[in-house]
């Protein structure tokens, strides 16, 4: 019996219901059930771990990390909890710590494709593109149709300035999922880096059709148009006065849109 009088069997049934709700995307119902379990048994590993996953899905990363770390004290060798800890640390931009979590998860379960793919993403953030590429190649050796790994592999190749190979990797992903917006956008970027602006524009157009509000696609598309025909780009986002100023420049001269985007991301432009 638990402290609240519920049996281990009844808690197991509650957990099964919670996980079923969670898998169906019914987060509120799953959360309520996980909390019910924890009220009865505060040291219940699965309920604490999965509630942490819900907090991560809700964007409440600090709470998520606390829950996962508490769960790991109860079960330190859970590769799933270690991998999820890595995801949360990655979301918090604590990349070195995230890498350690993925390494621990893989030491316990070397066959975990998700942990390996996420390790590659983390290495990329740390500018370790060769190591990241090795991770993605390992994922694809085990799962050749892993679309995210194909896209991520292209990103690592771009980081190494191997643009032709990057394009090939993105196109392999797009054969499997033709409307994959990340691969469409990234392929456009690689083609732009090769100076193939007409081809790049086709990919940016498709990416924008799938994700109309994606600012990076808008800027990159405008940059490709600017390279093909100076002056065209300045009217692409004419409906947004501030972005129009960014393209033309306060002195009326054309400026590098990619540079503008970098400044916008870094918070260095004040309109």
Question: Where do the domains of the chain lie, and which CATH numbers do they carry?
Answer: 1-16+26-98 (1.25.40.10), 230-271 (no CATH)
Query: Of 8-22, 48-62, 128-142, which range is least confident?
Result: 8-22
Taking the C-alpha atoms of residue 269 and residue 271, their distance in angstroms, rounded to an integer, is 6
What mean pLDDT is reported for the chain? 87
pLDDT at 52 over 60: yes
Q: What count of other Cβ atoms lies within 10 Å of the Cβ of residue 147?
A: 17
Taking the C-alpha atoms of residue 203 and residue 188, their distance in angstroms, rounded to an integer, is 5
Is residue 27 within 8 Å of 54, Cβ to Cβ?
A: yes
Q: What is the dihedral of CA 144, 133, 99, 115, to 10 degrees?
A: 0
Determine the pLDDT at residue 95.
98
Confidence grade of residue 120 (pLDDT, cut at 50, 70, 90): very high
Share above pLDDT 90 across residues of the chain, in percent, rounded to a whole number: 79
Residue with tokens 């999922």: 177
Q: What is the mean pLDDT of residues 54-60?
A: 97
Confidence grade of residue 230 (pLDDT, cut at 50, 70, 90): low
Q: What count of other Cβ atoms lies within 10 Å of the Cβ of residue 133?
A: 24
Q: What is the dihedral of CA 157, 264, 221, 191, to 10 degrees?
A: -20
Confidence grade of residue 8 (pLDDT, cut at 50, 70, 90): confident
Q: Which tens digit of pLDDT belongs to each residue from 170-218?
A: 999 999 999 999 999 999 999 999 999 999 999 999 999 999 999 999 9
pLDDT at 110 over 70: yes
pTM score, whole prediction: 0.79
Taking the C-alpha atoms of residue 27 and residue 153, their distance in angstroms, rounded to an integer, is 32
Determine the pLDDT at residue 246.
40
Is residue 200 within 8 Å of 188, Cβ to Cβ?
A: yes
Q: What is the mean pLDDT of residues 157-174?
A: 98
Contacts of 82 (CB under 8 A, 6+ apart): 72, 101, 102, 104, 105, 108, 115
Q: Which residue has the higher pLDDT, 5 or 166?
A: 166
């Amino acid at each position: 019996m638990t402290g609240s009088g519920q049996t281990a069997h009844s808690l197991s049934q509650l957990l099964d219901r919670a996980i079923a709700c969670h898998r169906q995307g019914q987060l509120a119902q799953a959360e309520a059930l996980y909390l019910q379990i924890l009220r009865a048994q505060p040291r219940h590993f699965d309920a604490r771990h999965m509630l942490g996953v819900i907090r991560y899905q809700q964007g409440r990363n600090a709470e998520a990390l606390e829950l996962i770390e508490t769960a790991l004290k109860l079960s330190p060798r859970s590769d799933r909890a270690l991998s999820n800890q890595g995801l949360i640390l990655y979301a918090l931009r604590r990349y070195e710590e995230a890498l350690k979590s993925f390494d621990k998860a893989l030491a316990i379960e070397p066959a975990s494709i998700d942990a390996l793919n996420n390790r590659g993403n983390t290495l990329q953030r740390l500018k370790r593109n060769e190591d990241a590429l090795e991770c993605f190649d390992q994922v694809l050796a085990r799962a050749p149709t892993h679309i995210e790994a194909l896209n991520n592999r292209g990103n690592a190749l771009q980081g190494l300035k191997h643009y032709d190979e990057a394009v090939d990797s993105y196109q392999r992903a797009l054969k499997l999922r033709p409307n994959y917006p990340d691969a469409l956008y990234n392929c456009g970027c690689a083609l732009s880096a090769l100076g193939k602006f007409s081809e790049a524009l086709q990919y940016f157009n498709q990416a924008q059709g799938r994700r109309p509000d994606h600012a990076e696609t808008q800027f990159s598309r405008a940059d490709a148009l600017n390279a093909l025909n100076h002056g065209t780009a300045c009217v692409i986002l004419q409906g947004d006065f501030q972005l129009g100023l960014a393209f033309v420049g306060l002195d009326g001269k054309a400026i590098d849109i990619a540079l503008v985007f970098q400044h916008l991301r870094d918070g260095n432009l004040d309109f």
